[in-house]
Amino acid sequence: MPNAPYPMTTDNFFLRNVWYYALPSDRLKPGKMIARTFLGEPVLLCRTQEGKAFAIRDICPHRGIPLSCGRFDGQEVECCYHGWRFDYGGRCTVIPSLTEEQNVDLNRYNVQSYEIREKQGNIWIYMPEPGKSQSPPPDMEVPEIPGFGDRPPQLVEVMRFPCFIDHAVLGLIDPAHSPYVHRVWWWRSGQLHDEIKQFDPSPYGFTMRKHQLPANTGAAYKFIGGGIPETEISFRIPGIRIENTTTAKHQVCNLTAITPISETETEVNFAFYWTPTWAGFVKPLIRLFTRAFLDQDRRVVEKQQIGLKYDPMLRLIKDSDVQAQWYYQLKREYARSLAEGRPFVNPVKSQLLHWRA
């Protein structure tokens, strides 16, 4: 029976050795630092006076106080407890209490540093296994929005969801919830329509082939101008979705990147890029609609947590839940490939999916 329900086998673990979205570039000013938590780890993000962003573990190895409680002079971080200092690579450079006669190797007291990439107005952080400094796979680059060069996004919204990352990701790639969760006049009605889309494997994920937007899609896309809009949607682990909509004259693209904060909290980052000049004049309205849209997803996930407390058996169906299955397969395969020291093999195969939404 092709449409029989089947259990959703989950693996509640954080995917390591991948790039996660850290924060928008413009929120980290020169000479400033920001304390964050990623995957349950305390991380301190800093930007030097020259503009270089870096990240180190936000714990002093001396007495365990957060380094973010101390001072940053635009070059080095100084612990507020005993004045130990650390540079952009996490190297301990000064221990003020040592005398000249006490010849101590300061490298014994370094803190972990994290690889950082900054592209198109976004800061990405590579999260290795705890306590390790593994480098990214050579073919794994941070996501790039096509057609915008190194331009930053015109709009960024960040929202916290009260859930484990998997549930935020499944909501991101779920094609069947819109008529019920996003039932508003400016997006779409509650009527169901047949959706038939071709999917193909793509680096560390899958892509919905470019197609013309149906008439029942949100009214916002109809104002892009320049002809009939076409869209292509790609997804890659750990939780990155890029929706690229184009006409003969214009392009609108949104990047949604999901970053786990802890076992019970996840951050959803939404970056919006566009070419129509008129969009800049209605940016406050676009921001309002974006926040309302994200909050609809947040509220339904919040309700979901009530039922998940009872550890129910969750079941998925064909074809609308195939993307959810792909997500778990991708996650498991990537973790296995690292553990076994072999290349990643994408488990997704080209497939035509049919659902109603």
- Among all chains, which residue has been given the structure tokens 């786990």? 260
CA distance 263 to 174: 21
CA distance 126 to 20: 6
Identify the pLDDT of residue 38: 98
CB 346 within 8 A of CB 237: no
Identify the pLDDT of residue 164: 98
Identify the pLDDT of residue 63: 97
* Order of strands across the sheet that contains 33-38: 33-38, 41-47, 53-57, 113-114
Find how far residue 169's CA is from the centre of its chain: 9
Helix (H, G, I), strand (E, B) or coil at 77: strand
- Tally Cβ neighbours within 10 Å of residue 32: 13
- Bridge partners of 158, per DSSP, are 269
Residue 9: closest CA among 315, 321, 323, 352: 315
Find how far residue 151's CA is from the centre of its chain: 19
CB 139 within 8 A of CB 203: yes
CA distance 18 to 15: 7
Identify the pLDDT of residue 1: 39
Residue 312 makes CB contacts below 8 A (sequence gap 6+) with none
Residue 307 makes CB contacts below 8 A (sequence gap 6+) with none
CB 118 within 8 A of CB 53: yes
Give the residue ranges of the chain where pLDDT is below 70. 1-11, 184-190, 214-223
Identify the pLDDT of residue 180: 92
CA distance 124 to 140: 12
Identify the pLDDT of residue 317: 94
Identify the pLDDT of residue 9: 56
Beta pairing class for 251-260 and 33-38? unpaired
Burial 278-309 (b: 16+ CB within 10 A, else e): ebeeeeeebeebbeebbebbbeebeeeeeeee
CB 254 within 8 A of CB 245: no
Identify the pLDDT of residue 225: 72
- Bridge partners of 316, per DSSP, are 6
CA distance 292 to 283: 14
Identify the pLDDT of residue 41: 97
Q: What is residue 320's DSSP assignment?
A: T
Identify the pLDDT of residue 189: 58
Identify the pLDDT of residue 134: 75
Burial label, 116 (beta-carbon count in 10 A; 0-12, 13-18, 19+)? buried
pTM above 0.95, yes or no: no
Identify the pLDDT of residue 2: 44
